[in-house]
């Protein structure tokens, strides 16, 4: 397959190496020192003591890469306006445009089953409707990433979760499709788990459970997810956060498996905390404001989440990392 990874930072670079080594025609849209290193010597993926190298086309200009079978967008939600501007040269008639972002996606209401409870106004996730105008709805494919990675040097990315690297994908209307089946097969061939998913939004909420609760608490404390879970001073807070998060997710999908304080927690800093510490724009809208909007639409009381969200938003504003 011809596959372009758009916004190939840590996660995207990891996937690009694996897909290229599996024999696919992989290209990347990236920038800066990372781009220059890839042009000069390719991408290197480090997993423990092992290093895997791959050469591929890379550019900051999508015009250089041409139409693709699939475009996997691994930009943060805060970077999607640049994706809307640059996507067109990569599109063919049936290109799968995979949005592999955290949180509630901008396209949530597109192709939604009529059985789904009423959805709140999510226009703030796509200001001015730029993404809706640029991306044909029939090309939209949802994605949920489970993979922890870090760019440790230009052209070099380290995978921090060798036991768990997944990209769940599905059409935005959950219909079976040949292009999604082909891409799932390609991902699995590349050692990126991608099992069948019946409802992509259920998978989105399953991951969002911890992002909207534990990850926000990590921002406020500076701790890893495991440290937050195991901190005795937070023993009374974490269960309340998770109970409220579970209630929001299950108001949309009752079958979503509940997350509890005793569940697994990775010993690394979530991406929203990394963004805060590195001075990058924070995904407050998709991880905080959007879940709160769903809670209000469902008539749910979420006082602990609301307080944590307000504190995290204030913290982000004070550092100039959120202007919503």
Q: Would residue 157 count as lying in a domain?
A: yes
**Same-domain pairing of 179 and 304:** no
| Buried b or exposed e, range 211-223, using 16+ CB within 10 angstroms | bbbbbbbbbeeeb
Q: What percent of the chain clears pLDDT 90, i.e. is strictly above it?
A: 92
Which residues touch 268 (CB under 8 Å, ≥6 apart)?
148, 160, 161, 224, 225
Q: How far apart are CA 73 and CA 140, in angstroms?
A: 11
Q: Which positions are annotated as active-site residues?
A: 207
Cα angle 128, 134, 139; round to 5: 130
Cα angle 70, 52, 142; round to 5: 25
Q: Would residue 282 count as lying in a domain?
A: yes
**Same-domain pairing of 184 and 229:** no
Give the number of domains in the chain: 2
> Domain residues for 180?
2-198
> Smallest Cα–Cα separation from 252: which of 117, 146, 84?
117
Classify residue 193 by its DSSP letter.
B
Which one of 174, 198, 222 terminates a domain? 198
**Same-domain pairing of 137 and 51:** yes
Cβ atoms of residues 104 and 125 within 8 Å: yes
The alpha carbon of residue 207 and the mean position of all alpha carbons in its chain are separated, in whole angstroms, by: 10
**Same-domain pairing of 66 and 122:** yes
Report residue 311: phi and psi, to 5°: -65, -45
Report residue 148: phi and psi, to 5°: -110, 125
Q: How far apart are CA 287 and CA 7, in angstroms?
A: 20
* Interval 130-170: pLDDT, tens: 999 999 999 999 999 999 899 999 999 999 889 889 999 99
Domain holding 239: CATH number?
1.10.1040.10
**Same-domain pairing of 308 and 172:** no
Query: Mean pLDDT in runs of 10 for the chain (324 residues)?
Result: 96 98 98 96 96 97 97 95 92 96 97 95 95 95 94 95 94 97 98 97 95 93 93 93 96 93 77 94 96 97 96 96 91
**Same-domain pairing of 185 and 208:** no
Q: Would residue 324 count as lying in a domain?
A: no
The burial of 175, by beta-carbon neighbours within 10 Å (0-12 exposed, 13-18 middle, 19 or more buried), is given as exposed
Helices (H), 42-154: 80-86, 130-134
Q: What is the Rg, in whole angstroms, of the alpha carbon atoms belonging to the chain? A: 19
**Same-domain pairing of 308 and 187:** no
**Same-domain pairing of 69 and 190:** yes
Handedness of CA 285, 75, 112, 240 (dihedral sign): negative
Q: Identify the H or E element spanning 144.
A: strand 140-146
């Amino acid at each position: 397959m011809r596959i372009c990874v758009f916004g190939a930072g840590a996660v995207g670079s990891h996937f690009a190496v694996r897909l290229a080594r599996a024999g696919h025609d992989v290209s990347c849209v990236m920038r800066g020192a990372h781009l220059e290193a890839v042009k000069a010597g390719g991408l290197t993926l480090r997993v423990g003591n092992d290093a895997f190298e791959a050469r591929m086309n890379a550019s900051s200009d999508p015009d250089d890469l041409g139409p693709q079978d699939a475009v996997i967008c691994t930009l943060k939600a805060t970077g999607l306006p640049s994706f809307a501007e640059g996507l067109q040269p990569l599109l063919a008639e049936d290109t799968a445009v995979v949005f592999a972002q955290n949180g509630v996606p901008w396209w949530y209401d597109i192709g939604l089953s009529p059985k789904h409870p009423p959805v709140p106004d999510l226009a703030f996730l796509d200001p001015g409707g730029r993404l809706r105008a640029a991306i044909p709805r029939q090309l939209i494919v949802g994605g949920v990433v489970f993979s922890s990675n870090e760019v440790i040097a230009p052209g070099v990315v380290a995978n921090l979760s060798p036991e768990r690297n997944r990209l769940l994908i599905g059409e935005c209307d959950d219909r079976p499709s040949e292009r999604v089946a082909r891409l799932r097969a390609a991902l699995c061939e590349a050692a990126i788990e991608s099992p069948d998913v019946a409802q992509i939004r259920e998978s989105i909420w399953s991951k969002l459970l911890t992002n909207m609760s534990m990850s926000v608490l990590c921002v406020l404390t500076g701790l890893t997810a495991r440290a937050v879970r195991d901190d005795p001073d937070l023993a009374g807070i974490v269960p309340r956060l998770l109970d409220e998060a579970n209630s929001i997710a299950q108001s949309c999908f009752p079958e979503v498996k509940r997350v509890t304080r005793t569940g697994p927690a990775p010993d690394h800093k979530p991406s929203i905390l990394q963004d805060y510490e590195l001075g990058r724009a924070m995904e407050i809208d998709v991880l905080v404001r959007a879940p709160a909007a769903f809670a209000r639409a469902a008539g749910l009381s979420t006082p602990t989440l609301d307080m944590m969200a307000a504190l995290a938003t204030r913290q982000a504003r004070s550092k100039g990392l959120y202007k919503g």
